[in-house]
Structure 1
């Protein structure tokens, strides 16, 4: 009986940790947002202990930070940190997509096309939370087909850090492309089973589609630098 007592809190903490990870990756939490243990526990209908354990794990993961007075908030990446993580993503995300290619069929591509249409519709309607969620689902739906759990764990650790920052994507850093949306190139490459084109489309989605976003982050960095002078 003692073993069950030991396992249960850890299992509950893990569930809360998983929910918070998903919210971070899907840009459901804003940079700087304070996470109150008592409030979260009340909303989740649980005690404070598993909530505290989950939050402290996310602090260790680099997604949250503990400030003086022992309050916890969503960490906002600096420009330098974001650029470093983007460089890592440019290596790993196209690789994950290519590894997923043998495990992708027409039904999956049709579903992915629907997710992209949801993204475009949400952008047009200025439903930016829905757009950010659809973008997250588009990317990770592909990556998880790689069947490489260690790689997915690494990517998730990156996205729990960058996810909150993506709240600045709309409307200030709205993705823009020289031609068709890069997600369309992803879909075409999947249908053609073209690994090189697939990797190229994912890289371009991050660099070409993220130009305005990066420029906006640079503007913020410059303004805050001036205020601190």
Structure 2
């Protein structure tokens, strides 16, 4: 229920936005389509709205009684975006299946597993398929094509171009930019992980994603930020596929990140480029070693 609970909370918050703008809510099938969740989740949302005194619900009639207040919403830390939930469930399913080329993915099963509508799952799979990692087949089926060495080399080549550009952009950010505060917070987490590396090394992949996404966002280029989705999925989950020497590898990457962060703080472009290139070379080696 934990997965569905997150889907429910995220959809509930979006449903509150709907009732802020209308006097009557549409039918359950229409709500299901508008929120991208199952009919079961829609009924759970309506039940909670009724319990909070937001609506009166009698069969098809759903009358808005009051506007939502801040306290009605679930806090942000309890809700993930629907695409993030689908991405995690999709990768969990692939990992459980051993990520073998030819593995079948059924969008109906995936949607049922998450507790969301098939439309949102299909949109995610279509978006993911443009990189050639999965392929559409008839009857809501998809096939995993596998991560080849060629794919990994092409991916790292583009990653290096984009990240070098983004790192230079980050170094040029004004001193009062919010990204510097986030960078300091990320740096502190790096030190905490290194201080307890034997126990906490599995936490690295999520921290890695958080750090590199922050750097990529400094590009202010929507194509670079959008492309980071596929980078994070492939690199993040390859850390999990290849568990050989994971502790040592993650400790080295944490040290490289700290050198990279130190270079960003100096704003010296030559130093930033050198630290960025060094870390990306290591990341490429790790990725290539994980491919059978």
Contact 2:104 2:143 in 1 (8 A): yes
The unaligned stretches of length 5 or more in structure 1 are 221-229
Write out per-residue CA displacement over residues 143-167 of structure 1, whole angstroms, 9 at most, x where no aligned residue. 2133222221233344444443332
Contact 1:98 1:198 in 2 (8 A): yes
- Report the alpha carbon displacement of residue 58 of structure 1 after superposing the two structures with TM: 2.1
- Report the alpha carbon displacement of residue 210 of structure 1 after superposing the two structures with TM: 4.4
What TM-score do the two structures reach when normalised by structure 1?
Answer: 0.70
- Report the alpha carbon displacement of residue 51 of structure 1 after superposing the two structures with TM: 2.3
> Is the alpha carbon distance of 1:34 and 1:198 closer, same or farther for their aligned partners in structure 2, counting shifts above 3 Å?
farther
More off after superposition, 114-123 vs 90-99: 114-123
Contact 1:119 1:134 in 2 (8 A): no
Write out per-residue CA displacement over residues 88-111 of structure 1, whole angstroms, 9 at most, x where no aligned residue. 212211211111223356523321
> Is the alpha carbon distance of 1:59 and 1:215 closer, same or farther for their aligned partners in structure 2, counting shifts above 3 Å?
closer
Query: In structure 1, the residue corresponding to 2:135 is in which secondary structure?
Result: strand
- 1:191 and 2:265 aligned: yes
What TM-score do the two structures reach when normalised by structure 2?
Answer: 0.57
The residue number in structure 2 matching 1:223 is: none
1:138 pairs, out of 203, 211, 218, with 211
- Report the alpha carbon displacement of residue 202 of structure 1 after superposing the two structures with TM: 1.6
Give runs of aligned pairs for residues 1-229 of structure 1, distance below 5 A.
9=33, 12=36, 16-21=82-87, 23=88, 30=95, 31-32=99-100, 35-66=105-136, 71-72=141-142, 74-103=144-173, 106-117=180-191, 119-120=193-194, 123-125=197-199, 128=202, 130-172=203-245, 175=249, 181-217=255-291, 220=292
CA RMSD between the two structures: 3.9
Return the structure number with greater relative CO, CA threshold 8 A, min gap 6.
Answer: 1
**Larger of the two Rg values belongs to structure:** 2
Distance between the aligned counterparts of 2:170 and 2:31, measured in 1? Answer: 34
- Report the alpha carbon displacement of residue 80 of structure 1 after superposing the two structures with TM: 1.6
